[in-house]
Amino acid sequence: MKRRPASVLLGLLVLAACDGSDSGVAGESGVPLAPVTVYASAEQAAGLREEFSAFTAETRIPVTLKIADSESNVSKVIANLGAPAADVLVTPNVTDIWRAADEGALRPLTSRAFTAVPPVLKDPDRTWVAIGVRYAIIGVAPGTPAAPVGDYGDLSSSELRGKVCLSSSTLPVNRSLIAMLIEDIGIKPAERMVRAWVRNLAASPYATEAQLVNALRSGICGYGIVSSSVDLEGLSKIAPKPLYIDIDGIGVARHATQAESAQTLVHWMLNSSSLPDPRSSNGKNIGLAGWRDEDVRLLVERAGYR
């Protein structure tokens, strides 16, 4: 998330805490403005609070931030559940925002800033758009002997037996990567690659990327697939070609009670993010990763990648 200067935050009117407080601020008429309710995940909370504070200061529209795991948030938006119900959905991956749109739970975005977003980072039907991008790169442990590693496929080489670490197959960095590999090279070649990664593991897949990075730093393994957004201090990095991406996504709930204010918030967020054209994802729309997610689930199960 783009940080705002501290001076902008002065004059903050209201940002409701993640406990769902409904207190509003008075508009010029003296009538309290109803808060926009945003559903988001815990890993996004800190950055979003800062952004929403600046949004409220500039627009006089307060924000209520509701925190839960992303899959649950999407299910609530699809079913129009929750108290208060969501006006805006923010997800830490493309799969969840894509699922909400696929289930008809999002309404078209009206922001003029939508046009400026690169086509690979938004829904052609305008139901969702990226507000952040990260890349799936290869982290290299300190002191790792030189090996011919330049892309994801090289991690399947028998030369790297016992030298590879992965994080859980449920994490967005891995699901989006495998989904786009399926799209580019086909299911069977992608499965052969993933099976070879598993054969080369130095340890069972780690539950979090932070644990994987620690394993690289400690020398348990030499190579690992990680998000460009995590702290990789002390590690060398390889940017494969093509380089695949995942996103933070945003959309307005179809049943939003504060739809106009929700659209205003999305427009403000898009103006704040100013995303450049991503360096790759092989030129394909990232929404394909959502469409391929069931293929990914079945592939990793067959490959024994947990």
- Domains for the chain: give ranges and CATH numbers: 6-132+247-276 (3.40.190.10), 134-244+288-303 (3.40.190.10)
- Backbone torsion region of residue 186, taken as left when φ is above 0, otherwise alpha when ψ lies between -120 and 50, otherwise beta: left
Q: What is the pLDDT of residue 183?
A: 95
> Measured between alpha carbons, how far is residue 89 from residues 74, 107, 137, 209 in Å?
8, 11, 27, 24
Look-up of token digits 């739970």 = 105
Cα–Cα distance measured from residue 67 to residue 73, given in angstroms and rounded to the nearest whole number: 8
Look-up of token digits 């442990």 = 141
- Residue 20 confidence class, pLDDT cut points 50, 70, 90: very low
Q: Does residue 1 register a pLDDT over 80?
A: no
Q: What is the pLDDT of residue 226?
A: 97
Look-up of token digits 């988001």 = 40
Q: What is the pLDDT of residue 279?
A: 67
